[in-house]
């Protein structure tokens, strides 16, 4: 069996997104659980990479870090107004069809 994607949630992600993924047995770690509240975006991205997790965010600053060429294990981005159900369905789909290697230094938009 191939390895599955695990997610790291930026600190501003609604709790309902994390709950929705966990109800589907998807491994999720939040910034709060990692004791990284108020950390810089670069710190969040580096932590996700060191943990081998794909970062989910609604903060466009992470797109700028990607554009600067900072290495990462994947970013999934959704605009602030994206509904929670759409986010959860999109993340579940990514989890189901992609492997972690496919997300390396890659951005998926929901």
pLDDT at position 48 = 98
Instruction: DSSP letter for 72, please.
Output: -
Q: What is the pLDDT along the chain (110 residues), one digit of tens a residue?
A: 568 999 999 999 999 999 999 999 999 999 999 999 999 999 999 999 999 999 999 999 999 999 999 999 999 999 999 999 999 999 999 999 999 999 999 999 99
pLDDT at position 106 = 97
List, in order of start, the domains of the chain with CATH numbers: 7-109 (3.40.50)
90/76 Cα distance (integer angstroms) = 9
95 CB-near residues (< 8 Å, 6+ apart)? 4, 5, 7, 21, 24, 26
């Amino acid at each position: 069996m191939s390895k599955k994607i695990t997610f790291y949630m930026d600190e501003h992600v609604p709790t309902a997104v994390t709950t929705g993924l966990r109800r589907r047995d998807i491994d999720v770690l939040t910034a709060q659980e990692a004791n990284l509240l108020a950390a810089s975006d670069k710190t969040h991205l580096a932590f996700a990479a060191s943990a081998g997790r794909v970062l989910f965010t609604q903060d466009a600053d992470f797109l700028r870090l990607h554009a600067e060429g900072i290495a990462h294990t994947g970013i999934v981005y959704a605009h602030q107004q994206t509904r929670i159900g759409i986010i959860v369905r999109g993340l579940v789909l990514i989890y189901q069809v992609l492997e972690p290697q496919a997300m390396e230094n890659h951005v998926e938009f929901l």
